[in-house]
Amino acid sequence: MDLADLPASPDRSGRYRMLGLGGPLAAALALWTYAVVRTDPADLGDFGLAGALPLAFWLGLAVLAAGFWLCVRDPLRPHRWPLAYTLGLLLMERATQALVYPTPLYAWAWKHDAVIDHLLTAGALERGAALGDMAVYDQWPGFFAAQAAFVELTGLEQATAYMAWWPLLSSLLLLAPLLLIYRTFTQDRRLIWTAVWIFYAANWVGQDYFSPQSLALFLCLSVLAVVLRRGVRPPAGGRRRALLWTALLVPLTSALVTAHQLTPVMLAAGLGALCLTRRYRDWAAPAVLLLVFLAWNLTVSLPFLREAVPEMVRSFGDVAGNLEAGYGTTPTGTGPVLVSWVSRALSASVLLLAAYGAWRRPLLRRRATGLLLLATVPLLMLAANDYGSEMIFRVLLFMLPGASFFAAAALLPDARTPATAPDGRGRPLPVKGWRFGVLPAVALLALTAAFVPSYAGKDQLSYFPEQEVALVRQLVDGAPDGSLVVAANRNYPLAYDTYWRIDHYWFLDDGRSHVEAVLNDPAATLARDMSAVEPPARGYLLLTRGQIAYSDGNGMLTAAELHRIETSVAASPLFERVAQNSAGAVYELRRTS
């Protein structure tokens, strides 16, 4: 038996305590179930899912956060209680969309399904220029290869069958390495579980979807957990230990390197920073990572790097340029702007709390220097590259495990108790009062609530109704090999379906002058864009609600301008409408001969 088994409040009966601790969780899940049933994806507006969820969801979230704090404020509470509440949070945060929407979210996730389809069709990697921009996925195929094997073994038609549940699964995978990292630095259960809660509540960046980076983050945190616990400088004669742990890390780092471009670089920066501390001055783990990284990048992914390195060199050191938002990423309209500010406020709050926690708790800061370094070193990557205007988000993501720990430390009292006497004296006591009893609960509640609009506030852009999927499926299935699909942008489902036989052109990705030409004379300009297509291949124009919502919400063309383009094409003798439903329309370029 350990301290966990002691009754938190000896004057209460076990059943009453059970009801008090488990009741809020049960109530929250009941409210959530009701809310999920009552939510209609057709109601999505400017605030995405956040605006469509009924009051019951928000009440459930509040009850869940309050119940969590009720459990976690007592440092002797058994781990199963905060664990149950954390799982409840993950369900409410990451499973709601899978239950509410009939189709998977995010055009990028649909693209990853197409890559898996390609690997299953080809049965081998294609590193040449034949695949164009998509060849890069065959140069970092780890995630897709494993998914392809799973799809084939289970007999599922496509990864879309389980893609919607991936955010929940990938978030669950992070739990064990996160706990292990925090348990390396403290025994204070309040601190450990509050940090885990803050991590999940602040992880709105949306890299948990069906993607290589979601798997790579899990592997990265697993490596860090092992290194933080086991990667200390070996004492004299202790090299065998280092060798064994390093050998165990080889499969993890190898899988990581084959799966994603950026994560190994972030991990290398973190391991390098750890080596600067006296405790972790062992170069075995970073050396192994570097060797595997070089071996992969100088062979399999060399074609991509050969083209990308000059641009990487150009952007190195240009922090302002790397922080610049790309074209088509400026939130437009009340909803997107507000959602954008809420997500910024959420991240800023956690980082400020983390800074305050590190400042307020010098002893903890000294003990967890490694974690503090891991929280700050991703900032260096802002100087390295813009990563397609996404670097700021990736940096935030990799700072979060460490930042959450110190943010939790800011909310909690200092647990200075080193050990407990046999009679129980010296054991930590539950937090009380406004400062540590109520204020942290309010902070957790605010962070948890802010997560929903930050994470799901753009669902109007990311959700594709079944009609939209059916329309694009009809187009792709009927298009002869070598056909060209022209669309405003790539925000539609199946955009890359069978990309090895169908070409794409997204005219909003083109220069401003060409976009103006499309606006001035839509039918003639688009027909010229498709003129190189040789029969029997065909040229198609596809306009769907997903493209229009994305363009309108991100400061590209307005919905009215895109509708004007469609009206012009529909009226032109150059095009013929071949498919239409409530989600959009497909126009085919007429053959002139």
Partner 1 sequence: MRTLPTARREPGRDAMRKDSRPAGPGRGGPARVDLSLRLLPPAAGCCALAATLLPAATELRIAPVAVFLLAGPGAALVRLCRPVLARHQAVRPAESWDGGFERDSRRLEQLALAVSLSVSASVLCATALLAVGAFSGLRVLLLLTALTAAAACSPKLRVASKPVDVPKPAEPTAVQKTKKKPKGAP
Q: Interaction with partner 1 in 134-163: which residues (CB under 8 A)? A: 141-143, 145-146, 148-157, 161
Interface stretch with partner 1, choices 40-48, 178-186, 318-326, 536-544 (CB under 8 A) = 178-186
Q: Is 176 in the site for partner 1 (CB under 8 A)?
A: yes
- Could you tell me where the DSSP H helices lie in 184-261? 189-202, 212-230, 239-259
Binding-residue pattern over the window 228 to 257 for partner 1, x denoting contact by CB under 8 A: xxx-x-xx-xx-xx--xx--x--xx-xxx-
Nearest distance, CB of residue 176 and partner 1, angstroms = 4
Q: Is 419 in the site for partner 1 (CB under 8 A)?
A: yes
Q: Which of 30, 40, 79, 532 binds partner 1 (CB under 8 A)?
A: 79
Q: Is 121 in the site for partner 1 (CB under 8 A)?
A: no
- Mapping DSSP onto H, E and C, the string for 137-200 reads HHHCCHHHHHHHHHHHHHCCCCCHHHHCCHHHHHHHHHHHHHHHHHHCCCCCHHHHHHHHHHHH
- Structure token digits, residue 568: 């012009």
Nearest distance, CB of residue 361 and partner 1, angstroms = 13
- Closest CB to partner 1 among residues 335, 370: 370
- Closest CB to partner 1 among residues 149, 313: 149
CA distance 42 to 64: 27
- Closest CB to partner 1 among residues 184, 581: 184
Rg of the chain over all Cα atoms, to the nearest angstrom: 26
For residues 358-387, which are near partner 1 according to CB under 8 A? 367
For residues 263-302, which are near partner 1 according to CB under 8 A? 279, 300
- Closest CB to partner 1 among residues 26, 294: 294
Nearest distance, CB of residue 240 and partner 1, angstroms = 5
Q: Is 173 in the site for partner 1 (CB under 8 A)?
A: yes
- Closest CB to partner 1 among residues 42, 421: 421
Which residues have a Cβ under 8 Å from the Cβ of 353 and sit 6 or more positions away?
A: 198, 406, 407, 410, 411, 443
Q: Is 1 exposed, middle or buried (0-12, 13-18, 19+ CB in 10 A)?
A: exposed
Q: How far is CA 521 from the centre of its chain?
A: 40
Q: Which of 5, 130, 320, 433 binds partner 1 (CB under 8 A)?
A: 5
Interface stretch with partner 1, choices 215-223, 381-389, 501-509, 552-560 (CB under 8 A) = 215-223
The total of other beta-carbon atoms located within 10 Å of residue 276's CB is: 12
Nearest distance, CB of residue 169 and partner 1, angstroms = 9
Dihedral over alpha carbons 186, 188, 193, 199 (to 10 degrees): -40
| SS3 (DSSP) at 10 | coil
Q: Which of 11, 14, 15, 124 binds partner 1 (CB under 8 A)?
A: 124
- Residue 573: cis peptide before it, omega within 30 degrees of 0: no
